[in-house]
Chains A and B, each alone.
Chain A
C-alpha cells in the first residue's frame, strides 16, 4: 500500500520539537543519528536468520526460546534500549499469530518497522477476534488439528513467531533456510513453504 507523503505542518512541528529537545539537552544530534542508523539496519532478515539457525541448531533454538534477547545479542544484534524479545514456538498442535490490539508493539530491533496493515484498526481488532478469517485473507490455511493462539502484545515484551521448519528442506544450508523466511512468517500471518523454491531448484 502506498504511503502518503508527510504533511508540511507535521514536518514543521517535528522540527520545532527536535529543536526544543536539543536546546534543553534532552537529545543530541548524535543520538538521533545513532537511533536512525540502528532503525535503518533493523529488517526482517535478522529475524529470518534467527529462525533458520533455530531450525539447524538445537542448542541455539533452546536459547532462543528461553531468552530471545540473549539469543539476539549472541548473534551480534545490539538489544540495548529495546524491550525484551520473546519467541513463540509453533508446533504440530499450535500456531501463533501476533497482534498489538492497543497500539503497534512490534519487535523492531529484529524485524524492522511494522507494515502498514499491522498498525491498522482492521488488523488489530480482527486478528484477536476472528484470527482464522484474517489468516485466510493472507492465504494461510492451517492443517487440520492446529489450534490458533493469538498473542496480544499488550505490555513490555516484543514477540516473534518461530515457525515450524517446512517439509522438503532437509539438508538445506542456513543461508537457504534464511531466504525462505519473511516478515509475515515472523508475525504469524503466513507460513514458510519450501514448495516454490524446491520446485524451482529441481
Chain B
C-alpha cells in the first residue's frame, strides 16, 4: 500500500475515508482501487512517459447525475481531484488516464443512455457512455433513416469526442458544430441546461442552439469547468444517394496542388464532407507492415515507399471524398470535381467496386457514410508493438501551408527515426493536419525519443505560426503556453473562470493546461 498513488493533498487515512464515503454512494462494485486488477486498465498504454506519472488512486463509475452530485460533495469535502472520462477511448491524447498520478478517475462509461432520437428533426440526445457503435446499432435496430458521424475509432464516445472538438467524415463532421443543447453539472453540484433547454416551457432544446443570453456550451468543451452529462447532437438524414470516390497522386509534392484544388471546392461545399488527403503509409498499414519492406533502423527509405505504392496500387497521397444527394446532382457535381482533380498530373480515379480487396478504401467509404469501424487502429501494426500519439496543428488551407507543415513534420520525424504517417483534411476554411507518431511502446528508448520528437514539433510549429487543436496529457501545458497573445490573456481568463466555478479545483485539474489556483505555478 505504501506505493499507492494518492491525491497530492491527502494522507492515506484521508484518502481511505473518502473512498469509504464513495462506496456508500456507489456500492462496492463501482469503486475501483485495486492497482493490478482494476486500475491498470486506466493506464494510457500509448503514452510516451512512464505509467506511474498517470496512475490513478481510484476510479469511480456513477450511473446518474444524482450520484455525480453526491460524489462532488465528497470531492469538495476532502479536496479529491476528479478526472472525468466518457468511454475512456481518447487514445493518442491520453486514453482513460488522468493528468497526474493520484487523481480519482470519474468514469462515466456506465451513464450510457440514448435518451432520445428524433427522426423528424434529426437529432439524438445521449449520455457520455454512449459510443458510436452503440448509437449506430441502436439506429439500425430501429430502422432509422438518420446517420451518425463517427470518429475513425467507433468505440469512442459521441459526447466525449464532441467535447474534445473531434471530427468525422460525413458532411456533419465538425462535431461541436452539430451540438445543440447540453447538460452540465458544476463543481458545487448544481445542474445547468444550456440554451433553449433552460427555458421552463421549451420544446426546442435540441433545435435552436442559442436561446437568450450567452451561448456557453463551448466553455465546457476541452475544459474543466463542469461535467457534461448530456448533449443533443444533430444527425444527418440519409441522403437519396451516396458515392464515395478516391483519387491517387504519385508524388509527395502533389500535396501543394491537391490542397489548392480542394480548398475552394470544400469552401463552396461542392465537397460537402471532410476532404481528406491521406499519406501513403497511413493507407498501406491496412495491408502491410514495415518489416515487409524495410528491416533497417529509422524511417523507411523512398525506395521502400515506392515499392509499397506499386504493390498496393496507391499514391504518395490518396484523396477520399464522397458525393451525397440525388443522382442528377451527384452527376453534375462530379463533372466539376473530376475536371478539377484531372488538372493534377498523374491523378487516378477509383469508385465503388474498383478496389474490392482494399480495406483502406472500405473503411474510408464506411466512415464517410456514417458506419463506425476500428480499421484505422491497423496503423499500430506498422511496427511491432505499436502505439501512437497524435500531433494536430491547424493552418490556412493553402498548398504552401500544407507543404510547409508536411516537410517540417516529415523532416523532424525522420531526424528522430520515425516514419511520416499523416493526413490532411480541409475542414472548411482551414487545413487540419494529423501526424500519427507511431512508436514501439515496449522500447523505452524509442518512447523517450518519440516524446522528445513531439516536443520539438510543438516548438517548430509555434515558430511557424501554427497552433495545435488538441493535446496529449503530457503536452497540454506546452501547447497552452503557445496560446500566449497579449501576455497570455486567454489562459488568464480561463483561470479566472476556473477559480469562480471550481474554487477548490476538484474538476480535472490541468486539463488543457487549465489549473486551479492552488496548483498554478
Partners in one complex: no
Taking beta carbons and an 8 Å cutoff, which residues of B are in contact with A? Answer: none
Chain A contact residues, CB within 8 Å of chain B: none
